[in-house]
Structure 1
């Protein structure tokens, strides 16, 4: 079995540990060494079965170690992955046993799929995409480092760019184009194309302009 280190010890990291245990319960695959995290006391008082081994910043990957990045923020995810890969780190795909991946999909490195997540058919999934318990419709594209939160519906022929964050229970109707670095608020219904670096929310989703 391979030695696995979880990058990030926040809520997503602790959830991911549960999904890795579920994989091992069916067929032992991973020896989980623990977490690396830049805040050393993140797990204090939480009863977690695994410990923080050291910091992300200073960790030097060993040849027998494989990593999974449990960071939801797309830009921070890219930053951390880039740092570790520059030191030779290798990353695994973690797919919960109840998740569904259909036929004729192209799947990138570092994919995480939560329980009951679905990637249907003829989809292109970039590197280091995180799909919580959500569905990706046929012929859709999800760009590198994007995060799809729980309860989302990404309808067929959707095109989602790099470093996009889709909040919980958001819906994107078919054939929409979401450009790079977009943040879609929880519960939003996206009915139009969204330009890069936009922050949208609501039903229908509109550009969010904070009050001065």
Structure 2
């Protein structure tokens, strides 16, 4: 693909897995550490990413919001009729260096957004509170692999990175459920786990604060930076 805009899609099949946590923190890192503009697209019927930055739900007929620090918000919830999500136009892509997508839990939404946006990095967060959901990882990855293979068979040069982000889980808990070597058509990485911070993260999201702004948690910023350190995003250090 010759698109210059980099797309990061955060999704997993279970609610409470940490999609919003990852999306809002990565969006902030990108506005701080990279040039140009960032679009945070909230594709959940509950606009938690929007509320994190805006402080409240979008008002009626309000789907877009711009901030002075190079961050735009777009609430793009699932539609009951027509296309599942409103598409990002080519003109809109050109306005942004990065698009971060906070997707709803249903796997069909992940596949629809993959087809619509062709993300460069697909982040699969799994919170400690959702440790029972690790057994669903292989099926989720199989669905992603099948859709990515379809894109390639359609003639698109598409090679995204899929990153599993354990938020309080140990790598061994992920590896016990999935052998990434079995997925030959996609690049999968199991990231270094975040320390157990379920309580602190819930507090931060409720108070609309970044987790690294709290005492003794400044080092958590490096965790989110490492999630998106990738050859596709060389600007992040």
Say which structure is richer in strand: 1
Taking structure 2 as the reference length, what is the TM-score of the superposition? 0.33
Say which structure is richer in helix: 2
Taking structure 1 as the reference length, what is the TM-score of the superposition? 0.36
**Quick one: higher RCO (CA 8 Å, sep 6+), 1 or 2?**
2
